[in-house]
Structure 1
Amino acid sequence: MPHRFPVREIALQAGVSEATVDRVLHGRPGVRPGTVLQVEQAIAELDAQRTQLRLSGRRFMLDVVMETPQRFSALTRRSLEAELPALRPAVFRARYRVAERWALPDLIAELDGIARRGSHGVLLKAPDVPEVAEAIGRLARARIPVVTFVTDVPASLRLAYVGLDNRAAGATAAYLLARLMHGRSGSVLAMTSGSDFRGESEREAGFAATLARIDPDRPIVEIVSDGLDETARRRTAAALAAHDDLAAVYSIGGGNRGLLAAFDAAGRECAAFVAHDLTPDDVELLEAGRISVVLHHDLRADLRDAARALMGFHGALPEFRPRPASVAVVTPYNLPAR
């Protein structure tokens, strides 16, 4: 009978003696048919549990490197720390290297430092620029896998991407705004954090293409911020001064309190507002009716997929390649439990 487990483990699982297991494995007589079935069942159970056995005692160090507003890095940290206990019997520890604004040389130096120090993997939210792709390549050559998070660097040696299907999310935003603004004129403000972040560029492209198809007469005013409230307020105020028909917002990169403050200061109504991510600020604004809908996906599921991909790379699990997540539309009436 083929098997891959010590006789002692099989005997313990089956609740019989090691001698009995030995007789069954070698097809010797003198064992009741029911006992043979017990031993066969024990081997099947051990085989089904081999992943847990393989993970037992495995420890992984994960480096989380992100350029992102503090509200999103805090949300990511809470989500990751809530998810890590569910990965047992493997044990994950995380080191966080995050900044709201990160000079590119400093970001590259951080990634190269991880390559020198060693790590079991890097969870990375960073711009899609050649320098970052090259740093990912150096990590890959050091046998340190990189999983890009929320925004991708596809022309790199990254192991996998976890996060939204961003183009589909942008198309969903266009669909929602077209319906929310039905029968009402006015242009839409689309604000990103910059073209270097591929995830936001894909959202914007999906939004523009879909709105042009389903609501072709509605203009889009595109502006770039940095995801921070004060910058978003200033850029939105300038856009409102230049466009007297701005009546709706698709906030791709955040800074939503600043966006709304600019509308309030100008005495203008924001008739429809689509945002991303259930940060505490956005939940409060959604409940207050200042944001119409939030496009959301399960960060914990993303982070769980990232951990599975890293464990697969290190041979602790079968190889795993995550797929981009679908977007969920959240209103004040279907907020996920907090």
Structure 2
Amino acid sequence: MRTTLADIAKEAGVSTATVDRVLNNRDGVKERTRGHVLAIAGKLGYLDDMLRPGASGAAIGGVPLDIVDLDIVLPGGTNTFINNLADRFADIAAIRPDVNLRIHSIEGFEPVLLAEKLEALRGKSQGVGLIGLDHPVVREAIRSLAGSGVPVMTLVSDISHVPRVGYVGIDNRAAGRLAGYLLGRFLKAETGKVALFAGSLSYRGHEEREMGFRHMLREEYPGLSIVELREIRDDTERAYSEAVALLARYPDLAGIYNIGAGNRGISRALQEAGREKSVVFIGHELTEHTRRFLISGTMDAAIDQNPRVEAREAVDRLARAARGEENPTGPATRLQAIFKENIPEV
């Protein structure tokens, strides 16, 4: 017996209309509900039925499957957000029968390795999504890949002056401005010293966050001075050692804005120095670690983007580009300030 929409609806506890919207990737369904319905569809074998050779219903929602080969290239390392994003792509790979999704991990701060990986995908991929440094060799590799007819989409951090078909991620300049606004409001002081941490300003997204932060301080909190900016390559241990040195050098440090990853290292340094309550700490991404830091008061706010939404949008838009459908543009992903009082459920 073939699994029906009614079977999925009954098992998932939703209406058949909701199941239809999910399977046809329409709006109007909460992300948690969408994931639940897709998981039930996979569990009941509905997606397998759609792929079975000779099946009369070799389609989803009546649309014939056109399977495309897509590749996602992400930086490796200890960045929890990136690892969560990779997991979300893996989830999609398991429930999207219309895409053959391959996920690659490359050393995030080695542009030559990334460029070589992109070159290796020529002739093997129908669409490539990547997080990469805004570096000449990376830009040239993207131009070469796009020139061969492969659509390229940037994720999380955009890359300038390349023929990409779209960008999926937040407005990083706005995120930096929000961080500056929050830090200034939390400090409630006309003057003070603050420090910045960044993975690498070779990431355009990190550079844009820094610019937005500086502009906000200059416009609204001119008495706050940035005393240092330290690049930590999104490494937890390096973040820790740099934060220890920073706190020792500035016993009167009032605030920290961490542009990228490394929140665990900075939080550890603040806690060991006994300054987790006196230094305002603003960072990015709601993870299993930042949840703890927010609850304990070590972090004051985390500016979050939704990796599940970004992965879904990236695959959907890249698949459409690979099929030559309409220009897969879209608005920036919504960003959200998370505090101890409004941490969402897992």
Q: Residue 121 of structure 2 aligns to a residue in which SS?
A: helix
Distance of 1:316 and 1:138 partners within structure 2: 19
Q: Residue 307 of structure 1 aligns to a residue in which SS?
A: helix
Q: Is the 8 A contact 1:191 1:225 kept in 2?
A: yes
Distance of 2:337 and 2:165 partners within structure 1: 29
Structure 2 counterpart of 1:10: none
1:108 matched to 2:115: yes
Structure 2 counterpart of 1:238: 245
- Normalising by the residue count of structure 2, what TM-score does the alignment of the two structures yield? 0.76
1:202 matched to 2:208: yes
User: In structure 1, what residue type is equivalent to 2:120?
Assistant: G
Structure 2 counterpart of 1:136: 142
List runs of 5+ in structure 2 lacking aligned partners.
Answer: 1-58
Distance of 1:62 and 1:73 partners within structure 2: 18
Residue 108 (structure 1) shift? 1.4
Task: Pick one of 282, 293, 301 that aligns with 1:293.
Answer: 301
Name which one, 1 or 2, has greater alpha-carbon Rg: 1
Structure 2 counterpart of 1:274: 282
Structure 2 counterpart of 1:150: 156
Q: Residue 328 of structure 2 aligns to a residue in which SS?
A: coil
Structure 2 counterpart of 1:160: 166
Q: Deviations over 1:124-164 (max 9, x none)?
A: 00100111011011111222111111111121111111101
Q: Residue 219 of structure 1 aligns to a residue in which SS?
A: strand
Distance of 1:288 and 1:264 partners within structure 2: 10
Structure 2 counterpart of 1:322: 330
Q: Is the 8 A contact 2:282 2:300 kept in 1?
A: yes
Q: Which has the larger displacement, 125-134 or 215-224?
A: 215-224
Residue 322 (structure 1) shift? 1.8
List runs of 5+ in structure 1 lacking aligned partners.
Answer: 1-49
- The 5-angstrom pairing of residues 1-338 of structure 1 reads 52-54=61-63, 56-70=64-78, 71-84=80-93, 88=96, 91-116=98-123, 118-183=124-189, 185-220=191-226, 221-269=228-276, 270-315=278-323, 317-338=325-346
User: In structure 2, what residue type is equivalent to 1:280?
Assistant: E
Q: Deviations over 1:214-240 (max 9, x none)?
A: 111111132211111110111122222
Distance of 2:274 and 2:235 partners within structure 1: 22
Residue 122 (structure 1) shift? 1.2
Distance of 1:196 and 1:224 partners within structure 2: 10
Q: Is the 8 A contact 1:232 1:255 kept in 2?
A: yes
User: In structure 2, what residue type is equivalent to 1:143?
Assistant: G
Q: Please tell me the root mean square deviation across aligned C-alpha atoms, in Å.
A: 2.2
When the two structures are aligned, how many residues end up with a matched partner? 285
- Normalising by the residue count of structure 1, what TM-score does the alignment of the two structures yield? 0.78
User: In structure 2, what residue type is equivalent to 1:259?
Assistant: I
Identity of aligned residues (%): 30
Residue 333 (structure 1) shift? 2.6
